[in-house]
Structure 1
Amino acid sequence: MRALIVRFLAHLEGERALSPHTVRAYEGDLLRFVEFLSVDYWNQPPEAIDLAAIDVVAVRSYLAALAKDHGRRSQGRALSALRTFFRWACRVGEAAANPAQRVRTPKAPQLLPRHLRPGEIEALLAAPAGEEPMAQRDRAVLELLYATGLRVAELVGLDWRDVELKERVLRTLGKGGKERMVPFGRPAQAALRAWRGGWTALRERALAGRRAPASEEPLFVNLRGERLTDRSVRRILDRYVDATATASGVHPHTLRHTFATHLLECGADLRAIQELLGHSSLSTTQRYTHVDIERLQAVYRDAHPRARAQGGPGPETTATPADSAPADISPASAQKA
């Protein structure tokens, strides 16, 4: 079965053009399933597992085992990976049926996307101090993530040829190999121009030591002149989140949520945000139309005829103009978005 999984992963990477991060997620889910079948379900070596013997009961037993240590969202992702794998196996003649198709997806709680407030994002963008190449790179990484709402896989996949600095627009390949153009503001433009000098010095050293392919010009590189990975970007962000005492649980995707939320708060059309984010469905973009509870309370206090008479929701305090007015992003933040 493992040999078949390798073929399936090659199909995802080649024919479906999924990102390395997504392919690794599929690989992890499928290998955990094989381990479960081998150790807990049938007690036989992985190479002895017969694909035809895997039925609905086996899949349900796996999800039940996952439920002990994983949430419903993780269970749903694991089931989705199995469905996709068996659908492909049926299509290439390696399986006669898809046992995962008849298993109901565990309902996951609808969580609001986490986003940063204007003050938090401004502090984060200002955190990389100095003019050393790594500080210039980190500043450009953070500015571009917030300015464009790119997925981390899209960011690390960029080459310099994909970026039109003068026009302030870049070209990226999203999920499924779909190309889109994304504009960015002057702060990101300035950060990229500053980083270009440090990038040149790092690449020259790397090419002299033959540590990086001369044919590639990745936008963001490490000290060895090699393309950054999505894991590297996460480590960069973690460092500055800790340095600025920004709330925990901030990931590169948080900046994508922040990008969409700030655009929406400043009046951007939902369809335009959909195009900028590269969503194929508007329903996916609608996840970003959340409003935080403080703004809901402020709107209620200001708009409902009986809000003041009944005290309204939230703490019983006298609202100042700053408290009662909906939060807005600064002109600098709007320009960055």
Structure 2
Amino acid sequence: MNNRKEKTFSEVWGEFITSQTAKGVADITIRNYHQVLHNISKYLDIEMTLDNLSKSKFDEMIVEMRKVGIAHNSIATYVRVVRTFLHWCKAENIIFIELPNIIERETVKETYTDEELELLLRRPEADCSFCEYRNWVIVNFLLNSGCRAATVRNIQNRDVSLADSQVIFRHTKNGKIQVIPLCSRMVNVLRGYMAVRGGVAEDYLFCDQYGGMLSHNALRLAIGRYNKSRGVAKTGIHLFRHTFARKYLVDCGGNAFTLQKLLGHSTLTMTKRYCAIFDADIAKNYDNVSPLAQLYHPKEKIKKQSRAS
């Protein structure tokens, strides 16, 4: 008999996290594994031993989540992580439980409005603190590139080439290095910021006030305080990624294929699922392609040209 089946669900989940960490899974994913365990513990007895675990236990967990009103997509996320855990258990020859996937429903992602962006992009006073200046630059950067918070935290001075108007992302969710262009406005903003920030090539570009790396929580709190100080109630860093995607496609006339590369998605399908805004792109300038609009469009009569004498 496999002795690990006599361990509790939480104990084996800990082994799963250790295994994934050793594989080099991203820190944000590991934090998510910890958070999911905490969240499902309210609906599943995580102190039961694995030999008492069954698919029906997970079915009961999902039913309880639905009863208390947890969003469908949140449940789908929890199930996706649990499925990853169960696949690992199967590979480790611990337990064999098949849990069906729950398909997420497409939703329109919340974004910052143009009015909110105007408040956030207003240049701070010359005598502002370094942290406020840095936060303003970060907001500019997020709207230039649409990158994730973890990527922002890991950019080093050496990754920025103002001469080539580009930045290298060495820390990405899929582990692939990306080279992202910088618009002329962003180049000018970074030129001024980097002169103030200073430091050596290996120093983190967006550092704390002592020059060290910003933690995940420190960056989240910093942007939250910055937004509120500008009169913007929304504080999500990831909303800048949504906003970048929406404005790139709808307002700036960009295409989904290029957006896929900018966002670092492996497939175009993921880009569409992530943005959930392609319907808005279809609606843009629809009068130019609508059959109804064309039928009502007045037709011009051919005018007889006078012959030159």
TM range (shorter): 0.7 to 0.9
Distance 1:300 1:251 in 2: 35
Give ranges in structure 2 of 5+ residues lacking alignment: 1-7, 297-309
- Residue 160, structure 1, aligned to residue 157, structure 2: yes
**Cα distance change on mapping 1:267 and 1:297 into 2, 3 Å:** closer
What is the DSSP-based 3-state SS (H/G/I as helix, E as strand, rest coil) of the residue aligned with 1:170? strand
What is the DSSP-based 3-state SS (H/G/I as helix, E as strand, rest coil) of the residue aligned with 2:174? helix
Residue 108 of structure 2 aligns with which residue? 112
- Residue 125, structure 1, aligned to residue 121, structure 2: yes
Residue 188 of structure 2 aligns with which residue? 190
216, 239, 244: which is aligned to 1:230? 216
1:117-174: CA deviation from partner (whole Å, max 9, x where unpaired) = 4443233111543353223211221111110110111111212222222212122132
1:69-101: CA deviation from partner (whole Å, max 9, x where unpaired) = 5211111111111100111122123x230x3x3
Give ranges in structure 1 of 5+ residues lacking alignment: 40-45, 204-213, 310-337
Distance 1:90 1:56 in 2: 14
Q: Give 1 or 2 for the bigger CA radius of gyration.
A: 2
**Cα distance change on mapping 1:243 and 1:291 into 2, 3 Å:** farther
Q: What is the identity percentage for the equivalent residue pairs of Structure 1 and Structure 2?
A: 21
Letter in 1 for 2:110: R
Distance 1:195 1:77 in 2: 38
Residue 81 of structure 1 aligns with which residue? 81
Distance 1:6 1:215 in 2: 37
Residue 262 of structure 1 aligns with which residue? 247
When the two structures are superposed, what TM-score results if normalisation uses the length of structure 1?
A: 0.72
Residue 92 of structure 2 aligns with which residue? 92
Letter in 2 for 1:221: C
1:164-205: CA deviation from partner (whole Å, max 9, x where unpaired) = 2221212213223122111111222222232224433xx7xx
When the two structures are superposed, what TM-score results if normalisation uses the length of structure 2?
A: 0.78
169, 173, 176: which is aligned to 1:175? 173
Residue 135 of structure 1 aligns with which residue? 132
- Residue 253, structure 1, aligned to residue 252, structure 2: no
Residue 64 of structure 2 aligns with which residue? 65
Residue 29 of structure 1 aligns with which residue? 36
- Residue 282, structure 1, aligned to residue 255, structure 2: no
**Cα distance change on mapping 1:215 and 1:69 into 2, 3 Å:** farther
Question: Given that residues 237 and 252 in structure 1 are in contact (C-alpha distance below 8 angstroms), is that contact kept between their aligned partners in structure 2?
Answer: yes
What is the DSSP-based 3-state SS (H/G/I as helix, E as strand, rest coil) of the residue aligned with 1:17? coil
- Residue 221, structure 1, aligned to residue 207, structure 2: yes
Distance 2:156 2:253 in 1: 32
**Cα distance change on mapping 1:154 and 1:124 into 2, 3 Å:** same
Residue 229 of structure 2 aligns with which residue? 243
What is the DSSP-based 3-state SS (H/G/I as helix, E as strand, rest coil) of the residue aligned with 1:175? coil
What is the DSSP-based 3-state SS (H/G/I as helix, E as strand, rest coil) of the residue aligned with 1:224? coil
CA RMSD in angstroms comes to 3.2
Residue 307 of structure 2 aligns with which residue? none
Tell me the number of residue pairs that the alignment of Structure 1 and Structure 2 aligns.
283
Distance 2:20 2:142 in 1: 26
Letter in 1 for 2:17: L
**Cα distance change on mapping 1:188 and 1:10 into 2, 3 Å:** farther
**Cα distance change on mapping 1:115 and 1:224 into 2, 3 Å:** same
Q: How far 1:279 moved relative to its partner? A: 0.4
**Cα distance change on mapping 1:8 and 1:296 into 2, 3 Å:** same
Question: Given that residues 228 and 235 in structure 2 are in contact (C-alpha distance below 8 angstroms), is that contact kept between their aligned partners in structure 1?
Answer: no
**Cα distance change on mapping 1:62 and 1:185 into 2, 3 Å:** same
100, 103, 123: which is aligned to 1:103? 100
Letter in 2 for 1:24: R
Question: Given that residues 109 and 276 in structure 2 are in contact (C-alpha distance below 8 angstroms), is that contact kept between their aligned partners in structure 1?
Answer: no
